[in-house]
């Protein structure tokens, strides 16, 4: 399946049209929106999002790691059935100076022929590893 969709953030072309992205780009955008949105931020969809940002100042311990993994897996399972996450691929890495970064591997469930794509989330920005 060669799926092309509109990604996030929206970008335009020189002719004024919306730019398109391949499926993994669309899924990456979906990950960014879900993991970067706190429940309650969307007025018409108040349960949308994940609790990752609420855990920014939580003490770094094994309990926190389990909560973070649960937040990622649960929110993606709830809000986007195109993305599969194996909890064993998610790592919680402490960052010097406080805080943490999540890394993991996501799977495109709509097209098993697509390669898995890595992601990372540091609660302030989202990047796709290349």
Does residue 4 or residue 128 have the better pLDDT? 4
**Whether pLDDT at 129 is above 50:** no
> What is the per-residue pLDDT for 130?
37
CB 108 within 8 A of CB 83: yes
Question: In degrees rounded to 5, what are phi and psi of residue 85?
Answer: -130, 125
**Going from the N-terminus, what domains does the chain have, and what CATH number goes with each?**
4-127 (3.10.450.40)
CB 31 within 8 A of CB 46: no
pTM over 0.95: no
Token couple for 31: 């990950």
> What is the per-residue pLDDT for 124?
45
Does residue 120 or residue 76 have the better pLDDT? 76
- What's the rounded mean pLDDT across residues 5-30? 70
What is 34-99 written as a DSSP string?
HHT--TTSSTTSTT-S-SGGGGTTS--SHHHHHHHHHHHHHHHHHH-TTEEE-GGG-EEEE-TTS-
Question: In degrees rounded to 5, what are phi and psi of residue 126?
Answer: -125, 135
pLDDT band for position 7 (50/70/90)? low
> What is the per-residue pLDDT for 9?
64
Residues 73, 97: Cα–Cα separation, whole Å: 27
CB 83 within 8 A of CB 73: no
Which residue in 11, 35, 18, 21 sits closest to 83, CA to CA? Answer: 35
> What is the per-residue pLDDT for 123?
53
């Amino acid at each position: 399946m060669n799926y092309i969709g509109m990604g996030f953030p929206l970008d335009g072309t020189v002719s004024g049209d919306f730019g398109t992205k391949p499926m993994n780009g669309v899924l990456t955008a979906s990950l960014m929106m879900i993991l970067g949105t706190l429940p309650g931020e969307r007025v018409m969809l108040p349960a949308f999002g994940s609790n990752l940002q609420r855990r920014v100042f939580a003490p770094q311990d094994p309990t926190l790691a389990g909560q973070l993994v649960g937040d990622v897996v649960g929110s993606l399972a709830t809000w986007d059935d195109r993305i599969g996450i194996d909890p064993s691929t998610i790592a919680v890495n402490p960052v010097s100076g406080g805080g943490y970064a999540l890394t993991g591997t996501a799977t495109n469930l709509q097209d098993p022929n697509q390669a898995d794509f890595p992601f990372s989330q540091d609660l302030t920005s989202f990047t796709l590893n290349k």
